[in-house]
Structure formats: C-alpha cells, structure tokens
Homo-oligomer: A and B are copies of this chain.
Amino acid sequence: MKFCSSCGSTVTFHIPEGDNRDRFVCSDNNCGVIHYENPRIITGCLPTYQDKVLLCKRAIEPRYGLWTIPAGFMENGETTEQGALRESWEEAYANLKIDKLYALYNLPHINQVYFIYKAELLDTSFKSSSESLEVALFSEEDIPWEELAFTVVEKTLKRYFDDHKKQNFPLHMEDLDRAVRPGSVR
C-alpha cells in the first residue's frame, strides 16, 4: 500500500496514537485515515457422494493443474455457508446440501482462516468451469495424493476418510502456523 484510498495522498507505515502495531496511515493531516488490514476467510465444501468425494483440477493460479476441493474467498454480504455453496457452484456446478461445518483452519502466516463444510452432492450433474479444468469423483484409493493443491485439502481428505470408517464426523480445528509474528500474542 502506497497511497490513501480515501484521498490519494501517500501513506506512511507506523503505530498510530493509541494503537500498538504498525498501520498504513494517510499522511494528509486533513484526511489521516488508518487503513487496517485483516485476515480473510476462505470458505468451501467437501462434497461427498456415496463413498466418494468431489475434487476440482485448478484452472487458475496458484497451483494451476493441481486438485482441490471447491473453496475460495468469502465475499461481503454472504454467510460462510452461502460462500461455500457459491464457490462449489462457480468451480464445479455442484448441487450440494450442506451437512455440517467440518473443519476450521488458521493459517496465520498467510492471514487466512478456512471454513470447510461437509456437504452431500445431490446429483452428478457437476462439470468443469472457467475455474476448473476437470471435476471428478474419487474414492479413497483413487485420490491423487501427490497432486493436491493445498495442505488443508490433504488434511481434510485424510480426516474425512478416517471419519468415514467410523461414521463419526466431528468438527476438526487446527492451526497451521509456521510463522507467527513476534508481538502478535501478548
């Protein structure tokens, strides 16, 4: 960030009065807006169908050509569930019924929080999209483990197949924090 989005002046990076961490602050005294930056939510579904799960082969960067579950940035004006269903439609034209919140991941090194819902695929009319080169159902033995796009996808799939054997699907919560910044905790 170099310029103030309110007035167009330059910004400086410092701790504002009464605050305790560096922020981008407008250098114009008449404006002086503080531009806060906060983590973003990734919301998505783990679509299940009989003993299989639906995966999408990414048609966009990052991780072009690798497999993922349908998920993406939560948008303003929607709930986490609505966002998960929207992303599943945009990436795979998947008709889903959400079963439950299945996984929450904190990724503080990239300022993201993941919401993953376990969801039932209502039919097999899914198809590829502008965001997915290919969309397909996989049973556990067919999962392309070496070609998964993200760690959270791998972790979620492993947990799902374990839980599926027990027919018990608790909410999984995990922090994947490789780089917590000094000062971020009291």
**Which residues of chain B are near A111, meaning CB under 8 Å?**
76-77
Complex CA gap A18/B131 in Å reads 10
A86 near B185: Cβ-Cβ < 8 Å: yes
Given A75-B184, A177-B79, A184-B77, A41 contacting B113 (CB threshold 8 A): yes
**Which residues of chain B are near A11, meaning CB under 8 Å?**
5
**Which residues of chain B are near A149, meaning CB under 8 Å?**
none
Given A38-B74, A76-B38, A82 contacting B185 (CB threshold 8 A): yes
**Which residues of chain B are near A186, meaning CB under 8 Å?**
85-86, 89-90
Complex CA gap A40/B76 in Å reads 9
Number of copies: 2
Say which residue of B79, B101, B173 sits within 8 Å of A108 (CB atoms).
B79
**Which residues of chain B are near A21, meaning CB under 8 Å?**
75
Complex CA gap A1/B185 in Å reads 31
Query: A2 contacts the other chain (Cβ, under 8 Å)?
Result: yes
- Nearest CB in chain B to that of A24: its residue: B5
B78 near A108: Cβ-Cβ < 8 Å: yes
Query: A46 contacts the other chain (Cβ, under 8 Å)?
Result: no
**Which residues of chain B are near A2, meaning CB under 8 Å?**
5-8
- Nearest CB in chain B to that of A182: its residue: B77
Query: A106 contacts the other chain (Cβ, under 8 Å)?
Result: yes
**Which residues of chain B are near A165, meaning CB under 8 Å?**
none
Complex CA gap A11/B2 in Å reads 15
Can you offer 22 A-B residue contacts whose CB atoms are under 8 A? Answer: A2-B6, A2-B7, A2-B8, A3-B3, A3-B5, A5-B5, A37-B76, A38-B40, A39-B74, A39-B75, A39-B76, A74-B113, A76-B111, A77-B109, A78-B181, A79-B106, A79-B108, A80-B104, A82-B108, A85-B185, A85-B186, A90-B186
